[in-house]
Amino acid sequence: MALTIDLSGKTALVTGASRGIGAAIAKGLAEAGADVVGIGTSIETGSADLKAEIENAGVRFTPINCDLASREQISGLVERLTRDQVQIDILVNNAGIIRRTEAASHAVEDWDAVMAVNLDAAFLLSRDLGGKMVERGSGKIINIASVLSFQGGILVPGYAAAKGALAQLTRSFANEWASKGVNVNAVAPGYIATDNTAALQADEKRIADLMARVPAGRWGTPEDIAGPVTFLASNHANFIHGAVLPADGGWLAR
């Protein structure tokens, strides 16, 4: 089997595609030939460069605004895709937010916001779009977990809880759908230089502490995550189910 990744004829929906890891994933899938539906809160107006880069790969890019903190908007998104007869073959649940505070003062609003975007949205989109994949007997779902799916982190109780649960959601869906032609897996990034880690990147001491513990000795790039996601979206990953694949420069191995 040639190790070429060819996703032509497929359509991928990537949440949080406007920037950071999601934008790199959208470009990676496009370079492999997939049309891309990109979701963000304001991606329709803010994605001219991304649109050009994706369309340069010769595929279609459809940006759709949807606030994934809103269950109504998620239902509206699914209804719109159904109405427009857009078949989603690859779903990447990437959108995520982080709220850093001490556990004793972690506001319930922060907890709810993180759970809604990082966990509830992934459940709802997997159930609704993945359910259609099951009906067709094929599809790929890739959740963007975190090394904090395995570890508790520091000052991020809601985020670590949501990412731990996302890994379990991945395994739960995989167990049911593996025999129905749908692969459900996750990629667990380590420390990647994006807006999500801006606070860490600004803290010289945390940078030194973190990098001393990363065997690869560097921050990851969004492209370091796009590669494993594109692989999991391909036929080369047909026998991989329920994996939570670290892409972390060796952080979890240490």
Where do contacts with ligand NAP occur on this chain (CB under 6 A)?
15-16, 18-22, 39-43, 66-69, 94-97, 117, 144, 146, 189, 191-192, 194-197
Measured CA to CA in angstroms, residue 232 lies from 71, 185, 237 at distances of: 27, 7, 5
Place of tokens 């606070």: 199
Residue 163 C-beta: closest distance to ligand NAP, Å: 7
45 or 85: whose CB is closer to ligand NAP? 45
Active site residue 159: yes
Measured distance CA(36)–CA(233) in Å, rounded: 13
Residue 179 C-beta: closest distance to ligand NAP, Å: 28
> Facing residues of 144 across strands?
187
Residue 94 C-beta: closest distance to ligand NAP, Å: 5
Residue 208 C-beta: closest distance to ligand NAP, Å: 17
Rounded to the nearest 10 degrees, what angle do helices 71-83 and 121-136 cross at? 20
Residue 9 C-beta: closest distance to ligand NAP, Å: 26
Instruction: Name the residue among 91, 95, 48, 116 with its Cα closest to residue 195.
Output: 95
73 or 138: whose CB is closer to ligand NAP? 73
69 or 244: whose CB is closer to ligand NAP? 69
Sheet holding 244-247, edge to edge: 61-65, 35-40, 11-15, 90-93, 139-144, 182-189, 244-247
Within 8 A by CB and 6+ apart from 44, the residues are 63, 64, 65
Question: Which of these is catalytic: 159, 177, 191, 219?
Answer: 159
> Facing residues of 188 across strands?
246
Instruction: Name the residue among 215, 194, 197 with its Cα closest to residue 206.
Output: 197
Known catalytic residues are 159
